Amino acid sequence: MTKPTSQEMSMTRQWAQAKLGVSLNEATESTGSLTAVHQNWHICHKNRSIENTPLQIGRKKFARGLATHTVSEIIVRLPSAGKTFTAKIGRDQNFMVAHERTDIAFVVEVEGKEVFRSQAFCGGEPPVAISAPLKGARQFVLRVVGQADFGHGDWAEARVELKNGKKLWLDELPFSGLTPDLSEQPPFSFTYGGEPSEKLLGQWQRQTKIETPDATRTRQTTTWRDPRSGLLVTCEATAYSNFPATEYVLYFKNTGPKDTPILENVRTLDARFSRAGAEAEMTLFRSRGSDCKVDDFEPIEQKLEPKQEVTVGGVNGRSSTATLPFLNVRTPANGVMLGVGWSGQWTATLRRDEKTNLDVQAGLERVHTVLQPGEKIRMPRMLLLFWQGEAMRGHNLLRQFILAHHTPQPGGRQLRSPIAHGNWGMLHVNEHLKRIRAMLDHNIPFEYYWIDAGWYGACRQVQDWWNQAGNWFINRDLYPDGFRPISDLLHKHGKKFLLWFDPERAYRGSQIHREHPEWVVDLGEQEPVMLVNLGIDEARRWVTDHISRMIEDEGIDIYRHDSNIDPLPYWNKIETPDRVGMAEIRHIEGLYAFWDALLERHPNLVIDNCCSGGRRIDLETTGRSIPLWQSDLQCCPWYNPMGSQTQNLGLSHWVPLHSTGANRVGDEYDFRSAVASGFVCNWAGLGDAGFPYAEMKRLMEEVFVIRDYHYGDLYPLTSCVVGDEVWLAYQLDRPDLKSGIVLAFRRKDCPYPALSVQFRSLKAAARYKISYSNGAKSITRSGRQLMEQGLEIRLDQRPCSVLIRYAQVK
């Protein structure tokens, strides 16, 4: 799988050290970097003039160095203390300026002071060798100043000698595309009592504690305390030695005897990034959220033009309805992945200035509150992951990071995406037992038996699944002995049991509403649905204890947590002008505490995060759960398999483990469209005469093959777009297994029977056997042929799909 480079680790290390004070071990020693902060014309080049000709000063040509143009500024960051900077300087003599005169000079600055300034260069002079003392600094600045016209300046053979004796060529340092601001200002901001944190934090008492939870993580906890009001600000930051990633969480606590001044405008991320020049423009790559539409999770790419502002975030209190809270800010050369860990109303704003800078602010959309004595709140988790190269490298690094550090580990083992058979909860227990036995008798491969809504309260008609919410007791007319007859049968045969709940929603008149009206938020008689307030400790404990007891008593292996309610209007209802944001914060904190308690009490439990189908997927929920029903589109009569294809590829750019389901009995195209790292088969009719068991068995066996490859690297082979007239195809590669798969779909109105795809990330000299699920003859090709010439996939029917498997052969 994709592994980080030393340059990626170096950039992350520098950012974590500068902004958060977190230092990693020697295994991730910095390699240094260059940042072209400003240049009046064109962009800075390595080893070529800015006209892309050989570097030439006077009559002397050079093979290496930096070429720039007045007025320019380059920041050089070193991996350790610097001793001396040397170079040969002068005006470049390329064809554009060789016959022109100018007046430029070269300047070296250390800690804001000039340590070298050259004579004036007009053009044609021979190179001048220089040596500038760095005095132990780890950062210095190169400037070319003077006349703007024809001011082509070269720092040829630019090199640094470090105090440890090591010598570095500047052209070998990372330099292109996007670079972060590395000033020592914290990467967050807030306003407190009307004053900006930038002004306040330097005056407050600061303390730092460093821990190493394991071999891959360094955790630094930094606190700032206001001596007047007692406000304690805590930044808990974690840097990783095996990924170019840093994440952190902010906390605010009132340690004083009275209410604090107003805390507002909290931006957990407040950071600046810059691009190298006009040829390396920044773009924002993101995915839509899940809104029960055919384009759910479709990727979106936006160029970030000068003076442009883009804002994305949660909708109605759910984190991934409109936009998935993972962003890739990228240039053609590199970028940074941003992840937001908050399951409510987050926001992120990206602002370009008129030059080369991008300011990114992210956090809670609404915070304007006092904190009462002893009160503590948390903010969203922020993740930054730096990458270099082509864009999918960044996505694959993120995928592997999520798998390693933000994926549940039931029983201490890496989660395997569940493969299940889905069923309606308003069926009698005998019908469930019949279906389970039918699958067992016909050797249908599956892992979980899934019972969805409708099993509780007084459910009798289809619509009762909605209006019985809040009556979380088993309907004994349907399940006289509870779920034990089902779970016991499953466990006897090595299978497991999933059960659906919707504990944040209560219908008017339900058990929870009648017995504990103080636990629910009521919008009034016109709205029968109420929010169970998980921000109330007693309510959360009751929900936790009740569901935990059912997990134990009924033999539940996957707790399916749905949340069919938009909570923002309910939070707004109970907030006061000086407590804006508190209801949301307490509810989301309560959700995390509820899930964490379940996982602590039941170490082998898996939590399925539904939330109306994929509307609460973020950095916090991925670490505690898996979205097994990523969109409610698959529930709808207007469902289109194209939606499943787009969802699976779009969401897989960011989150490796997720699933959805297929409903159309015997439809191979629909089935294969829905298979992700996991799968839910909702074929009805199990146990009935004429049911296509052989077809179901064949396709379910295919799901188990596909699943393993979702733990590897992803490569889109076509665009990920909505449209019935095109193909969609992608590759999943497992270099550790020396094999992979390609899934290809010719959609229903696509006029093209063939698609040529170029494989990615193979060994050029190796040979690969290619096999097809549709029975086409297997072939053998070299990695070079597959990557350069490609492979033609032909499907004469439409719609149609194929699973292609490849494996390295000796």
Q: Where are the domains of the chain?
A: 32-173, 189-399, 410-629, 714-809
149 pLDDT exceeds 90? no
How far is residue 800's CA from residue 20's CA, in Å, rounded to a whole number?
52
Our CA angle for 264, 267, 272, nearest 5°, is 140
Average pLDDT over residues 78-89: 95
- From the number of C-beta atoms within 10 Å of its C-beta (0-12, 13-18, 19+), residue 261 rates as middle
- Placement of tokens 């629910």 in the chain: 520
The fraction of the chain above a pLDDT of 70, given in percent, is 98
pLDDT of residue 30: 62
Q: Which fold has domain 189-399?
A: Beta-galactosidase; Chain A, domain 5 (2.70.98)
User: Containing H/E element for 612?
Assistant: helix 611-614
- Greater confidence, 64 or 149? 64
**Residue 230 contacts residue 342 (beta carbons within 8 Å):** no
**Residue 160 contacts residue 76 (beta carbons within 8 Å):** yes
pLDDT of residue 37: 72
Picking from 169-183, 336-350, 433-447, 796-810, which range would have the lowest pLDDT averaged per residue? 169-183
How far is residue 219's CA from residue 239's CA, in Å, rounded to a whole number?
7
Q: Residue 280 — pLDDT band, cuts 50, 70, 90?
A: low
For the domain covering 32-173, report its CATH number: 2.60.120.1060
Cis preceding linkage at 799, omega within 30: yes
276 pLDDT exceeds 80? no
pLDDT of residue 355: 83
pLDDT of residue 440: 98
Spelled out in words, what is the top-level CATH class assigned to the domain 714-809?
Answer: mainly beta
Closest Cα partner for 50 from 35, 32, 65? 65
How far is residue 381's CA from residue 753's CA, in Å, rounded to a whole number?
47
- From the number of C-beta atoms within 10 Å of its C-beta (0-12, 13-18, 19+), residue 656 rates as buried
Q: Report the side by side order of strands in the sheet with 195-196.
A: 195-196, 189-192, 263-267, 368-369, 579-580
Phi-psi region of 157 (alpha: psi -120 to 50; beta: other; left: phi over 0): left
How far is residue 246's CA from residue 20's CA, in Å, rounded to a whole number?
9
- Placement of tokens 């595309």 in the chain: 177
- Which phi and psi angles does 338 have, rounded to 5°? -115, 130
34 pLDDT exceeds 70? yes
The fraction of the chain above a pLDDT of 90, given in percent, is 87
Task: Provide the token pair at 575.
Answer: 């907030």
- The bridge status of strand 606-609 relative to strand 579-580 is unpaired
Helix boundaries (H) for 190-330: 197-200
Q: Residue 455 — pLDDT band, cuts 50, 70, 90?
A: very high
**Widest CA span of the chain, in angstroms?**
97
How far is residue 668's CA from residue 654's CA, in Å, rounded to a whole number?
27
Q: Residue 184 — pLDDT band, cuts 50, 70, 90?
A: confident
pLDDT of residue 26: 44
pLDDT of residue 28: 43
Q: Which fold has domain 410-629?
A: TIM Barrel (3.20.20)
How far is residue 506's CA from residue 529's CA, in Å, rounded to a whole number?
6
Picking from 38-42, 57-61, 514-518, 602-606, which range would have the lowest pLDDT averaged per residue? 38-42
**In this structure, how many other beta carbons lie within 10 angstroms of the beta carbon of residue 119?**
10
Closest Cα partner for 269 from 342, 162, 354, 194? 342
716 pLDDT exceeds 90? yes
pLDDT of residue 7: 80
How far is residue 279's CA from residue 391's CA, in Å, rounded to a whole number?
16
Same CATH fold, 714-809 and 32-173? Answer: no
**In this structure, how many other beta carbons lie within 10 angstroms of the beta carbon of residue 737?**
13
pLDDT of residue 361: 99
Q: Residue 279 — pLDDT band, cuts 50, 70, 90?
A: low
Task: Provide the token pair at 9.
Answer: 């680790």
Mean pLDDT for all residues in the chain: 95
- The bridge status of strand 496-501 relative to strand 448-451 is parallel
**Residue 702 contacts residue 773 (beta carbons within 8 Å):** yes
Picking from 37-41, 221-225, 629-633, 727-731, which range would have the lowest pLDDT averaged per residue? 37-41
pLDDT of residue 29: 52
Our CA angle for 129, 133, 137, nearest 5°, is 135
pLDDT of residue 79: 85
Q: Residue 24 — pLDDT band, cuts 50, 70, 90?
A: low
Average pLDDT over residues 415-438: 97
Average pLDDT over residues 149-163: 95
Closest Cα partner for 262 from 217, 162, 355, 195? 195
Task: Provide the token pair at 697.
Answer: 């068995």
